[in-house]
Each structure stands twice: as structure tokens, then as C-alpha cells.
Amino acid sequence: MKTLWLAGEDRSKPGFREWLDLRQRVLREPLGLVYTAADLDAERDDRHLLALGDEGKVIGGLLVRGKSQPPGVWKIRQVAVEPTFQGRGIGRHLMTQIAREADAAGISTLVLHSRESVCGFYEKLGYRIEGEAFDEIGIPHRRMSLSR
């Protein structure tokens, strides 16, 4: 499996549209939400790590927000895997890759807001729950972190 980095402003690059469509189908549609121009503008400084399948199609990805975070911290957002590829280690691969990238960049802490229903996935990767559950986009979430 190959991975590809795209910057938030790389909307015209190959793969970006596929990635946006995947996020819409997997993360937004089940909640009755649609990406807006404002949502995408808010991601302009984010980096997107994409997982590509054998034919070069986007099968998963995540966003990394670093600029608006405290020094030494990256926030992981919008982790999504194509439903037909779920359970095959793609999410684990992406999370392992982002941890390596963070180490190389001198980032000591990764944080994320996990849907409560998938906290176990992140706990298996070493993330710890911080604080109480909270509502985000209409569903329960937990703040989680991994310190390196």
C-alpha cells in the first residue's frame, strides 16, 4: 500500500477529490451533513495523508492539523477508510505512518477526538482517553492523546 501527502490547498491534485468524496460518504452522509466551502477553507493549512490501493485509488486517509496547535502537537482529524477495505489494517497503517512522520518532525504529542464507538481502535495503538465524553457533530466523542 502506498501513501500520499497532500496539502490543504492541493484541491486540484489527483486524489484530492476522491478523498473528499470518501470522507463525505463515510463520515458526513450518515449524519446528514455535507461539506461546505467554509469547512474546506478551514482545512487549508492541514495536511492530508492518503492510503492508495493497488490501482492508485484512494482507500483511506486522515487530516493533520499542526499550525493551530501548541508547539510539538499535531491534531489528527477525519480518519476514514473505504467501507469495502475496512478491517484490513488500513486505518492502523495510516495511524502508524502518521506517528512515524510526527517523530521525524519532532512532534511529541498526537491528539484526536474519537467517536466513542471507535475508542478501542485508538487504545490498541497506545492512545489514552482524556476527560469526559462530549458531543461533537451530534455524536459522543472522547479526546485521546498519544505522547511519544
CA distance 67 to 130: 22
Domains and CATH numbers, the chain: 2-147 (3.40.630.30)
For 21-57, what is each residue's pLDDT tens digit? 999 999 999 999 998 989 988 898 999 999 999 889 9
In the sheet where 2-7 sits, what is the strand order? 2-7, 47-52, 58-65, 73-81, 109-115, 139-147, 128-136
Q: What is the tens place of the pLDDT at every residue in 66-110?
A: 888 889 999 999 999 999 999 999 999 999 999 999 999 999 999
CA distance 69 to 57: 31
Claim: this prediction has a pTM higher than 0.85: yes
Q: Binning pLDDT at 50, 70 and 90, where does residue 12 land?
A: confident
